[in-house]
Structure 1
């Protein structure tokens, strides 16, 4: 296995904390580097609503361990200290994006949003499955996901508007990179990873005797990330560079519901099941041209972080101490 599961877990944890933070009562904020304090009326800092209920009580006990309690205030302070600047910046940048889009007459069409959602959901089987996974793993609601898509697309439009791309450049790029735009095959894989070949053969024997794959994965797989999902890896590109080539080659020769193994990995051995296959057709026509235009313009444009700083300055962003 070539994926960095530790990094993925850290990213998920950070995202969960940041999302939780935005819904909490923010009792204080710290200045962001490069921004000056100013009057509340001129600030780009949004008002943060206070939710009703016991959770708004800063001294409300939210957890206890060994008789020692943790209050809402302590939890909020800790989250603010770790993630406050990052979350506040996101909120401020979104306000600046809205203002710049309005001033420049930039809008999004339903087709643009739907196409970007389809790109984001690619590999999850369906948009419904994508929303479900994002909710379970990151705590993101469908509304939050769609907001993220909206602001990402608007920021890209702001970024690339000064970097025109000609039709000739688009056609030349398509001719030189045909592999990027053809149809692709995806495998819906499940696996159980063990430390030794003998353990993998034992798991394989139990599966052949009618054992439940998800249950065996939960009990025996040393890949903790997938084990808690019954060994389910979701949809994977047939040439995904983050998976062992031996696994993908084995999957290519399986029929749906067939099992293969043991397959040697860097950290052990795997038994896999092909739960399904999916073929995706490539972009064509105007969608293809727009996708390439966007890609080439983004490659030429200034870093998005740099443009975000410019927008914050343009709209008088300030942090209240």
Structure 2
């Protein structure tokens, strides 16, 4: 679920703001290297003739975000205690299934992990821990809530656009920097050259080029690919390519390898997702549950925080 990533990203974004704040000039109060020695603190950063002490850095962290971070840590402790009390466990299969869901729209598993690391500083271990926490929280929230088949069927009937059969396209593309480069590649395709080989040789998309430009099976309304690409792909037949198409990083040539239509009956995994979503709707706000569990286990903050 996207909510898992958003939860973690919110903390990391705050951390980024702290880092930005910490790199502002640090001596507008006349601080000197001698002051650092007097404080018994190591230098955390240096810019020009200015030095930011580790103590000042930590104080700024605590002042602005320390309480929120402590609450997040207490939440995790409280959820772990409640899960143990209720005999709730999270399996590796559940973790992998949730991660797989989060990876939808990425060209590969590696592309997903690289994006999370580059954009938000999240390692694989970080993502696994967040998924474990979220699943535990949801299981606790939905204890004792029963959703029957009739409720699931009703929900699916009320959301036909989401669960009716729809097309999926097996796509590949070649991206280049300039339009004339794309036109030259199109000419070579028209003369019978292999799309995959041209992608390996010329595509600028590092995630797909080694796989011959393959993007894999994507929904016909995939939100993660440029709309110009998807609109064009929907209008051509298997075995055809089209372009040049203007995309954010240059120009693209799209190739439709195959088209398939999904079954009209939602698979069991989809029905289980609907069941879980309906249960969560009945459970109420998860942040209230976190607050209640902190209280249940006697959580309290004893640290002092510098005044703003």
TM-score (norm 1): 0.61
Residue pair 2:145, 2:279 contacting (<8 A) in 1 also = yes
Pairing 1:272–2:252 present: yes
Larger Rg: 2
Identify the residue that residue 132 of structure 2 maps to in structure 1.
150
- 1:191-230 CA-to-partner distances (Å, cap 9, x unmatched) read 78xxxxxxx9xx3024445796649xxxxxxxxxxxxxxx
- 1:228-271 CA-to-partner distances (Å, cap 9, x unmatched) read xxxx9x897542468774443134457899663465x9xx9973
Query: Which of the numbers 85, 90, 93 marks the counterpart of 2:75?
Result: 93
Q: 1:296 deviation in Å? A: 0.8
Deviates more, 1:306-315 or 1:83-92: 83-92
Q: 1:135 deviation in Å? A: 1.9
Distance change (3 Å), C-alpha of 1:312 and 1:184 = farther
Q: 1:65 deviation in Å? A: 2.0
Pairing 1:312–2:294 present: yes
Query: Which of the numbers 156, 170, 179 marks the counterpart of 1:204?
Result: 179
Q: 1:133 deviation in Å? A: 2.2
Identify the residue that residue 130 of structure 1 maps to in structure 2.
112
TM-score (norm 2): 0.63
Q: CA RMSD in A?
A: 4.3
Q: 1:122 deviation in Å? A: 1.6
Q: 1:63 deviation in Å? A: 2.8
Residue pair 1:184, 1:237 contacting (<8 A) in 2 also = yes
Identify the residue that residue 15 of structure 1 maps to in structure 2.
12
Residue pair 2:105, 2:222 contacting (<8 A) in 1 also = no
Q: Where do 1:28-39 residues align within 5 Å?
A: none
Query: Which of the numbers 243, 261, 266 marks the counterpart of 1:260?
Result: 243
In 1, Cα distance between equivalents of 2:105 and 2:148: 31
Residue pair 1:165, 1:297 contacting (<8 A) in 2 also = yes
Residue pair 1:258, 1:274 contacting (<8 A) in 2 also = yes
Q: Where do 1:185-204 residues align within 5 Å?
A: 185=168, 203-204=178-179
In 1, Cα distance between equivalents of 2:256 and 2:15: 34
Deviates more, 1:179-188 or 1:72-81: 179-188
Q: 1:308 deviation in Å? A: 1.0
Distance change (3 Å), C-alpha of 1:295 and 1:92 = same
Residue pair 1:12, 1:137 contacting (<8 A) in 2 also = no
Residue pair 2:175, 2:252 contacting (<8 A) in 1 also = yes
Distance change (3 Å), C-alpha of 1:269 and 1:131 = closer
Q: Which runs of 5+ in 2 are unaligned?
A: 1-7, 19-38, 186-200, 206-212
In 1, Cα distance between equivalents of 2:168 and 2:40: 52
- 1:155-194 CA-to-partner distances (Å, cap 9, x unmatched) read 11111224321121112223343443456637677878xx
Q: Which runs of 5+ in 1 are unaligned?
A: 1-10, 22-56, 193-199, 216-231
